[in-house]
Structure 1
Amino acid sequence: MRQLSFEVCPQAVPLSSAQNAAEGSAIKGSMTEIIVSEGSALQPFQLLPALALCNDQQRWLMWLSPNQAMNKQWLTRAGLDNSPVLHMNINAQNQLSLCLKALSAARSHLIVEWSGCLTTQERAALRTCAEQNGTYLFIVRGE
């Protein structure tokens, strides 16, 4: 399988941070959902650099995925070899509760490889929890 590199312009993030500081507002979290088709060139670990750019609060970067081990080479290539990155295996039975706990702790930003269906209620709960706790959440799921 061919893998494409994924880079984000570092100048893009400080503008929103500066705008939030100028407005005096608290940092608000967000949820981004990415739907990929089978054989997609985008791999969830490629989002780690984007998540790191959001990390002006020095939180952990957490990657939740089923049965895929963290690769130190990925972190090095992404410039994250000295960043606090945590990988945890999840499955369809515990993914919602684990995500909500991680979001509620407000100690990390998350990338989640979602297994199965994501209901409207689950999506709303995840978005609300991310926004309330100033956490950036990327959900990557298949069609």
Structure 2
Amino acid sequence: MHSIQQTHHNASYTLTNAIGSTQKHACTSSQVSEIIYDPQNPFTLHLLLPFLQQLGHQPRWQLWLSPERRLNRYWINSLGLPENKTIGLNSVSTESTVEMMEKALRSGNFSSVIAWLPAISPEIKEKLNQAAKEGDCYGFILQSLPMLQSSLLHNDMFGKSHWH
């Protein structure tokens, strides 16, 4: 049991130092992180890798929620992640992905849940954070730069109606 707690501590330290945060308190109070990356330069995703490898030593599973492609076992092995403790599920919509992510985070069966999602509201992020705390799990929301840009334009976040 001590090694699991030590792994959890080391993984938290790795995440805090590897990914960082735009808000000082987010590292200690948030267990769900949004990671924006450029699909043409996937190096950003490799910043997450040491943390996922560390979590892979826990007896719990890692869940990947992917919008359109199956998880490639060769890719999982090449990253040094545990193939026998990694589950990949395809999701059909943003709503179903958020719902699956929340349930998985809350379950306590996973050390991490990784999902591709567009920009989410602060309310949804808070709901996911609460689920992650309940399940003692980390969540990572991967947002490709084009996905984030189209989501922002779709939600008209730059429109005058949103500025006060």
* TM-score normalised by length of structure 1: 0.69
Aligned equivalents of 2:115, 2:53: Cα separation in 1:
15
Give the corresponding residue for 1:123. Answer: 125
- Any conservation in 2 of the 1:52–1:61 contact (CA below 8 Å)? no
For residue 80 of structure 2, what is the amino acid of its counterpart? G
Give the corresponding residue for 1:40. Answer: 41
Find out whether 1:68 has 2:61 as its counterpart.
no
5 Å matches for 1:83-98? 83-90=84-91, 91-98=93-100
Distance 1:80 1:41, change over 3 A: closer
Higher share in helix: 2
Q: Per-residue deviation at 1:101?
A: 0.9
Distance 1:85 1:45, change over 3 A: farther
- Any conservation in 2 of the 1:35–1:140 contact (CA below 8 Å)? yes
5 Å matches for 1:1-143? 14=7, 16-17=9-10, 30-37=31-38, 39-42=40-43, 47=48, 50-80=51-81, 82-90=83-91, 91-108=93-110, 109-114=112-117, 116-142=118-144, 143=148
Q: What per-residue deviation string (whole Å, max 9, x for no partner) do you get for residues 31-89 of structure 1?
A: 12101245332475984553231245311011001011111211221223543110001
Structure scoring higher RCO (CA < 8 A, sep ≥ 6) equals 1
Corresponding residue SS for 2:132: helix
Q: Per-residue deviation at 1:103?
A: 1.0
For residue 33 of structure 2, what is the amino acid of its counterpart? T
Q: Point out where structure 2 has 5 or more consecutive residues left out of the alignment.
A: 1-5, 13-28, 149-164
Corresponding residue SS for 1:16: helix
The runs of at least 4 consecutive aligned structure 1 residues that moved more than 3 Å come to 42-49
- Any conservation in 2 of the 1:29–1:133 contact (CA below 8 Å)? no
For residue 119 of structure 1, what is the amino acid of its counterpart? S
Q: If you compute each CA radius of gyration, which structure gives the higher value, 1 or 2? A: 2
